[in-house]
Amino acid sequence: MSEIALNVNGRSHRLDVDPATPLLYVLSDDLGLNGPKLGCGLGQCGACTVIVRGRAVRSCVTPIGTVAGAEITTLEGLGTAEKPHPLQQAFIDEQAAQCGFCLNGVILTAKAFLDQKPKATEAELQQGLASVLCRCFTHVRMLRAIKKYQEKRV
């Protein structure tokens, strides 16, 4: 165990934890966050995604020791129910969810991708979402929400 400083959604935390622990378990079990979710534990589905230093990162396979001190944003840190981020608002407007378990990975992956490539083409966006899953297959609405957000933003 060692003390690790975490900066999550603008708040600082000091935690006494094994630095090999994947970030996900600290976010969900120690910090009690609902956004990042355990989908596969293998970095294959996206449900655990958080944004670290501006990039989408799979927290289920990211040892906490590697992100000490970095600014980490989870889905609840992006916007709030009262003031959702424009991308979250686009998902609400399009009613782009069924069970909602994948939304964390879909929204944060799209957010980080479009921050890097605001003018991404359809093919590039497809590439960016190539390893994000939604098993309810709400794809049509989710892609519509992402494109509407992209158009407004550019």
Partner 1 sequence: MTTRMPTAVDRRAFLQMSGALVVSFSAASILDAADVVQGPFDTRRSHVDPTQLDSWLAVGADGGVTAYTGKCEFGQGMYTAQIQLVAEELSVPVSRVKLIQCDTSICPDQGTTSGSQSTPTNFNERNLAQAAATAREALLRLASQRLGVPVDRLSASDGVVGVKGDAGKRVSYGELVGGKRFDVTVNAHAPRTAVADWKVMGTPVPRVDMTEMATGTFEFVHNVRVPGMLHGRVVRPASVGAAVASVDEASVRGMPGLVKVVVRKNFVGVVCEKQWQAIQAAAKLKVVWTAGPGLPAQHDFYDHLRKQPARDAAVVDSKDVDQKMTAASSVLKATYQHPYQMHGSMGTSCAVADVQGNKATVWSPTQSAYPTRSGVAAVLGIPPDNVRVIYVRGSGCYGINGADTVSYDAALLSHAVGKPVRIQLSRQDEMAWENYGFAYVIDQRAAVDRSGTIAAWDYESWSPSLGGRPGYDQPGNVVTGMLVGFEPAAPAPRAAGAPRGPLRNGSNAVPSYLAGCIDGSCNGAGTIKSERVVTHTIASPFFTGPLRSPARLQNTFAHECFLDEIAAHVKADPVEYRVRHLSDPRLREVVQAAAKAAKWQPRPSPQRTGSGRGIACVAYEGDNGYVAMVADVDVDQSSGRIRVRKLVVAQDCGPITNPDGMKNQIEGGALQGLSRALGEEVTWDERKVTSIDWRTYHSLPLGFDVPEVESVLINRNGVEASGAGETAITIVAAAVGNAVFDATGARIREVPFTPERIVAALRARS
DSSP 23: H
Encoded one letter per residue, x for contact with partner 1 by CB under 8 A and - for no contact, window 50-79 reads: ------------------------xxx-xx
149 binds partner 1 (CB under 8 A): no
Give, in order, the Cα–Cα distances in Å from 62 to each of 28, 36, 98: 14, 13, 28
Amino acid symbol at 106? V
139 binds partner 1 (CB under 8 A): yes
5 binds partner 1 (CB under 8 A): no
Beta strands in the chain (DSSP E): 2-8, 11-17, 49-52, 55-58, 71-73
138 binds partner 1 (CB under 8 A): yes
How many CA atoms lie within 13 Å of 30's alpha carbon, on the beta-carbon side? 17
- Residue selected from 84, 86, 117, 147 as contacting partner 1 according to rule CB under 8 A: 84
Say if residues 58 and 46 touch (Cβ distance below 8 Å). Answer: yes
Residues in the site for partner 1, rule: CB under 8 A?
1, 18, 21-22, 25, 28-29, 31-35, 37-42, 44-45, 47, 74-76, 78-81, 84, 88-89, 91-92, 95, 97-104, 106-107, 125-143
